[in-house]
Copies of this chain bind each other. A is one copy, B any other.
Amino acid sequence: MTQDPLVVFTPSGKRGRFPVGTPVLTAARQLGVDLDSVCGGRGICSKCQVQPAFGDFPKHGVTVREDALSEWNSVEQRYDDKRGLPKGRRLGCQATVQSDILIDVPESSQVHKQVVRKRVEARDITLNPAVKLYYVEVQEPDMHDPSGDLQRLCNALKDEWGVEDVKADLSILKTLQPTLRKGEWKVTCAIHHSRDAKPPTLAHIWPGYYEGSIYGMAVDLGSTTIAGHLCDLQTGEVIASSGLMNPQIRFGEDLMSRVSYSMMNAGGADEMTQAVREGMNALFTQVAAEAEIDKSLIFDAVFVCNPVMHHLFLGIDPFELGQAPFALATSDAVSLSANELELNLPSTAQAYLLPCIAGHVGADAAAVALSEAPDKSENLVLVVDVGTNAEILLGNTEKVLACSSPTGPAFEGAQISSGQRAAPGAIERVEIDPVTKEPRFRVIGSELWSDEDGFKDAIEGTGVTGICGSGIIEMVAEMRLAGIVDGPGLIGTPEQTGTERCFLDGRTYSYLVWEDGERKITVTNRDIREIQMAKAALYSGARLLMDKFGTDEVDRVVLAGAFGAHISPKHAMVLGMIPDCPLDRVTSAGNAAGTGARIALLNKDARTEIEQTVGEIHKIETAIEPRFQEHFVNASAIPNSADPFPILNSVVTLPSATFNTGGGDKSEGGGRRRRRRG
């Protein structure tokens, strides 16, 4: 008696014996091997491509004969002629097992493909979207068994795919009968799978086999900008990304002024809801146009945002968020129809908003937690998302703490005399010679430094217009390193600093950065104060979490946010924005909130994961923590020293030293170790 042939799949290593003639796809399904198929093994979709290997494979305990699979058949030939099948590939639904065989499932044929993230420390995304495609052949109606067309479609989905209890809304019911007949009882279904007990729902039906793709949008809805990433839900790829200004800007630059607007104006919240929803529709249109796809193919959307934007986007008055105890209307994740948000998407399109962590720590912070996963980090990681409010996460696998800190808009260039938004002409990088005290800088839109030949030509058109958020951080840090500003935050006199760039400007001194016929760019002492206040708030939040965690140091620091991506970690640490940490362990995560949105879009299980994580995060409310005020006062206090420039010498000789100039007194700044880079 001979045994059935052995089938071994790689990379999974799953193996089993199957009768001669079993299609590879069937064997894969029975073993639970992750092999894709949309057409259900009918040789139409070619998603089940596999790579058989022939020869002797002692590692896998299998020897494969040349004729271990059935011969190349006409279906495979037709597909190869039409689309081209990579050399050596077979269609898993056509090739049948003849004798022992080793089959590799290439990445592109896996259902749960990995979407690779570029950063080394970041986990890849496992593709598992909420919306998936299924091709089915439906039984024709029969007067002897008068079931509805929908019921026979659902039976096909159950029999052919094991997808049970599928529901259809009215928009699908309206098109169901003509679509089934147009496709001659063969249709492709897009089905939205809920995670909870809710049944799967039909998102769309196409007559016959649908060859196109389906899309989802991941949106980071910020107070200032709205950024969207359009993703192909079948490959996980980002097809197009785009952003626009939040139209709510006209109701107030920062969140609190928008909350005030709603308090002061009847219907104000509704106006802002209208504005942000219009902006959202404009963004969807813009991104779809860029990707050259039809908006009606977007069936899923994930949104992350701070609590005020969260409420305004949902149409909830953010009134309560403007006053203690900062009660959210709802803190849980919100799943709803995209149409409820007045998005011009198919009526079956779904929307998902990540949960909020607390009244000041929103779904954007939850998205950062999903992207940076402090709860999965062995070492203690501090994640800082810098914005008008800084969201701060501290944790490891043991526990995660979160708070927000009111940094104000200084880091965004607001309330700074020469401050401006990041735009061409804005100073973004700065170096100050510690001997001559002369500055050199680069502006957005030019690769040249200001002291390089051709700089003036390069900036012709814009000129030097101001200093953006990351520029002001570098500027103040460099001024401190160059001894132009002292520990307490006072700009020195020309005599103290030895440069005429310091000049009396009212009752304090300012530092002249640039002057041309049109503009004069200076840093005033008031600017230094603003930055001091902002960084003290940020630092105090982080310190408070460290206190709560019971630690004096962190293993690594992640700077998140579009802004965080532009901050120089060295300058941030010189300024005392973040606690001490080896410089090489400070990384930028880019737009981690947007990435978190993308993860939640591409993998519905990640939604369950972040909902659980958020439930377990320890929320710290800075407003009622006496230690926060204490840290804040200390971090912004004038150090107890008679020497107005006590650390200038060490700075000059240790330009890469990581010390804190902001937390002035001994208890905060004094106890820190100084580290050398590398």
Contact = CB atoms under 8 A, between A and B. Distances in A.
Interface of A: 141-151, 168-170, 173-174, 176-178, 196-199, 314-317, 319-320, 324-332, 336, 340, 356-359, 619, 621, 623-624
Nearest to A331: B148
Interface centre among A141, A174, A314, A330 (most CB of B within 10 A): A330
A205 to B, nearest CB: 12
B177 A147 contact: no
B325 A141 contact: yes
B199 A196 contact: yes
A315 B175 CA distance: 10
A326 B141 CA distance: 8
A288 to B, nearest CB: 25
B317 A177 contact: yes
A146 B314 contact: no
Given A169-B336, A336-B169, A336-B170, A151 B621 contact: no
A329 B146 contact: no
Contact of A177 (B142, B151, B329, B619): B329
Identical chains in the assembly: 2
B170 A327 contact: no
18 contacts: A141-B326, A143-B326, A144-B621, A144-B624, A146-B331, A148-B327, A148-B328, A148-B329, A149-B320, A150-B329, A170-B336, A173-B315, A173-B316, A173-B329, A177-B317, A177-B319, A177-B320, A198-B199
Given A143-B326, A174-B317, 7 more contacts: A146-B326, A146-B359, A146-B621, A168-B330, A169-B340, A170-B336, A197-B199
Contacts of A330: 148-151, 168, 173, 176
Contacts of A169: 336, 340
A145 B317 CA distance: 21
Given A199-B196, A340-B170, A327 B624 contact: no
A101 to B, nearest CB: 42
Contact of A328 (B142, B149, B198): B149
A150 B356 CA distance: 13
Nearest to A328: B148
Contacts of A168: 330
Nearest to A621: B143
Which of A149, A329, A623 has the most C-beta atoms of chain B within 10 angstroms of its own C-beta?
A329
Contacts of A151: 330-332
Nearest to A358: B146
Q: Which of A141, A177, A319 has the most CB of B within 10 A?
A: A177
A317 B174 CA distance: 7
A332 B142 contact: no
Nearest to A335: B167
A176 B329 CA distance: 7
Contact of A356 (B148, B324, B621): B148
Nearest to A144: B621
Q: Which 5 A-B pairs have the closest CB atoms?
A: A148-B331, A146-B358, A141-B327, A197-B197, A148-B328
Contact of A314 (B173, B336, B359, B621): B173
A263 to B, nearest CB: 13
A326 B146 CA distance: 8
A623 B143 contact: yes
A301 to B, nearest CB: 15
A282 to B, nearest CB: 21
Contacts of A336: 169-170
A331 B621 contact: no
A265 to B, nearest CB: 16
Contacts of A144: 621, 624
A433 B356 CA distance: 84
Nearest to A318: B177
A356 B146 CA distance: 10
A82 to B, nearest CB: 34
Contacts of A196: 199
A150 B334 CA distance: 12
Contact of A147 (B143, B331, B624): B331
A142 B316 CA distance: 20
A623 B331 CA distance: 58
A193 to B, nearest CB: 14
A150 B332 contact: yes
Nearest to A332: B151
Contacts of A173: 314-316, 329-330
A319 B180 CA distance: 14
Nearest to A347: B340
Contact of A174 (B177, B316, B324, B359): B316
Contacts of A326: 141, 143, 146
Given A173-B330, A198-B198, A146 B317 contact: no
A561 to B, nearest CB: 22
